[in-house]
């Protein structure tokens, strides 16, 4: 046997890893109700028509050339305008269009982390924030977010975990997997810690317009002298996850990230470019009508509230009502092995969820994540099964 690299075998991705046993059930003809993946298109949402048309026209007009490695000029101009909505000053030279936010993270971690260097990420967190620092021989450290306080970051815990090896602090806001939204006060405190310790901030804003009540604020507005890399893309707000178009924006007024910027750009050139026709689709998304966002959030609010009601009625389960995105991070009282819980629920009741420890073995354990994307009749069927399981297992 020719051995694989050790780094590749370290990779885990809980959200898709649980699909493997679910697929085995489906091959036997068993219906599995899937609540595991944050993909609106898997349910009853559609990418807005004007966005689809723009991408289709680009294909029909043979816009299949390589774009510049940093992305199409007109798209980067539109991204600059978008960031101005949040009072964030970047230029087209600060933007790199990527194959989704996940590629942006890979570029950042590869450029920023030397072996043994650390990045602080929220606990629980989106799994690539743990997987990819590890892949590049860095060390991800989760900082505590407090369930009893709406999954808000524990600033004292962040402070305690900063040391001479710390390179950056990541913020995912609104948060995946908890749906928490961090307000101006906590964002300013985190940014101030980064500035105090000569760190940079990674601000993942992929759910920026998916808030139920609050108005989005970027930490880049609150701390204009702290170096930051902002992440966003078409996947969530514009209901096009499979298009894999995102971007990173380097906001660095004092050029503290000049070497990391060059490391990112070198990688961007080496991997050529993101998908050109779908960059044109994202341009249409940013420049075109935005009315689908309000309709999407009205639908998601009804589904979120339905799930919250069902959870409240099931003995042994509880959930903090999310303020954004479309995830519910549900606590199971007394659960010592949440992965076993998730797999047992799958095998006995054929409902697919994701174990909380897959988002952080410390701060995610004892929970499972679901999406509130499906129609209410689908959610009703799934939660009828979950309720049955909870009664039977207790």
Give residue 137's region: left, alpha or beta (phi > 0; psi -120 to 50).
left
> pLDDT tens digits for 154-171?
999 999 999 999 999 999
Mean pLDDT of 296-311: 98
> pLDDT tens digits for 14-68?
777 888 899 999 999 999 999 999 999 999 999 999 999 999 999 999 999 999 9
Token digits for 105?
Answer: 């993270």
pTM (two decimals): 0.95
For every residue of 290-357, DSSP letters joined together read -HHHHHHHHHHHHHHHHHHHHHHHSTTEEEPPPSBTTEEEEEETT-S-HHHHHHHHHHHH-EE-EEGG
* pLDDT of 11 above 90: no
CA distances (Å), origin 117, targets 24, 113, 120, 393 = 39, 6, 10, 43
Nearest alpha-carbon partner for 51 in 284, 286, 291, 295? 284
Nearest alpha-carbon partner for 105 in 185, 187, 190, 206? 206
d(Cα 358, Cα 126) in Å, to the nearest integer? Answer: 9
> pLDDT tens digits for 365-387?
999 999 999 999 999 999 999 99
* Mean pLDDT, all residues of the chain: 96
Q: Can you say how many angstroms the Cα of residue 153 is from the centroid of all Cα atoms in its chain?
A: 16
Percent of the chain as helix, strand, coil, to the nearest 5: 45, 15, 40
Mean pLDDT of 76-100: 97
Give me the pLDDT at residue 242, please.
95
d(Cα 275, Cα 246) in Å, to the nearest integer? Answer: 10
Q: Are 127 and 36 in contact (CB under 8 A)?
A: no
The burial class, CB within 10 Å (0-12 / 13-18 / 19+), for 198 is exposed
Residue in the block written with tokens 């590869």: 110
The burial class, CB within 10 Å (0-12 / 13-18 / 19+), for 350 is middle
Q: Are 66 and 97 in contact (CB under 8 A)?
A: no
d(Cα 389, Cα 121) in Å, to the nearest integer? Answer: 33
**Please, what are the domains in the chain?**
6-46+291-393 (3.90.1150.10), 49-287 (3.40.640.10)
> pLDDT tens digits for 181-197?
999 999 999 999 999 99
Give me the pLDDT at residue 382, please.
98
Q: Are 202 and 250 in contact (CB under 8 A)?
A: no
The burial class, CB within 10 Å (0-12 / 13-18 / 19+), for 116 is exposed
Q: To 5 degrees, how large is the angle CA 83–CA 84–CA 86?
A: 75
Mean pLDDT of 81-92: 97
The DSSP call for residue 280 is H
Give me the pLDDT at residue 19, please.
86
Give me the pLDDT at residue 373, please.
98
> pLDDT tens digits for 105-156?
999 999 999 999 999 999 999 999 999 999 999 999 999 999 999 999 999 9
**Residues in contact with 263: Cβ distance below 8 Å, sequence separation at least 6, in sequence order:** 110, 111, 112
Percent of the chain topping pLDDT 90? 94
Give me the pLDDT at residue 15, please.
75
Token digits for 121?
Answer: 């990420």
Give me the pLDDT at residue 230, please.
98
């Amino acid at each position: 046997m020719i051995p694989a690299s050790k780094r590749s075998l370290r990779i885990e991705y809980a959200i898709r890893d649980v699909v493997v046993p679910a697929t085995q059930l489906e091959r036997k003809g068993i219906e599995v109700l899937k609540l595991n993946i944050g993909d609106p298109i898997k349910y009853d949402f559609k990418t807005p028509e004007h966005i689809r048309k723009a991408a289709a026209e680009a294909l029909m007009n043979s816009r299949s050339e390589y774009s510049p490695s940093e992305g199409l000029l007109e798209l980067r101009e539109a991204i600059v305008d978008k960031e101005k909505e949040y009072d964030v000053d970047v230029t087209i030279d600060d933007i790199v269009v990527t194959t989704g936010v996940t590629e942006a993270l890979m570029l950042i971690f590869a450029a920023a982390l030397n072996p043994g260097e650390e990045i602080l990420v929220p606990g629980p967190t989106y799994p690539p924030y743990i997987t990819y620092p590890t892949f590049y021989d860095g060390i991800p450290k989760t900082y505590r977010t407090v369930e009893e306080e709406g999954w808000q970051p524990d600033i004292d815990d962040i402070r305690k975990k900063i040391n001479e090896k710390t390179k950056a602090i990541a913020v995912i806001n609104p948060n995946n997997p908890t749906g928490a939204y961090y307000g101006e006060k906590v964002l300013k405190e985190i940014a101030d810690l980064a500035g105090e310790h000569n760190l940079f901030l990674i601000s993942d804003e992929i759910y920026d317009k998916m808030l139920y009540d609050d108005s989005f604020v970027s930490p880049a507005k609150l701390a204009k002298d702290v170096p930051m890399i902002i992440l966003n893309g078409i996947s969530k707000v514009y209901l096009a996850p499979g298009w894999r178009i995102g971007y990173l924006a380097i906001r660095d007024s004092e050029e503290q990230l000049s070497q990391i910027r060059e490391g990112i750009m070198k990688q961007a050139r080496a991997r050529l470019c993101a998908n050109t026709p779908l960059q044109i689709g994202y341009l249409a998304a940013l420049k075109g009508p935005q009315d689908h966002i309000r309709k999407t959030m009205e639908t998601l609010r009804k589904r979120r509230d339905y799930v919250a009601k069902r959870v409240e009625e099931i003995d042994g389960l509880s959930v903090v009502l999310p303020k954004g995105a479309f995830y519910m991070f549900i606590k199971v009282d007394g659960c010592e092995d949440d992965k076993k819980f998730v797999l047992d629920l799958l095998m006995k009741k054929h409902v697919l969820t994701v174990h909380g420890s897959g988002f952080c073995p410390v701060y995610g354990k004892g929970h499972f994540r679901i999406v509130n994307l499906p129609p209410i009749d689908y959610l009703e069927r799934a939660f009828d099964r979950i309720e049955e399981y909870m009664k039977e297992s207790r």
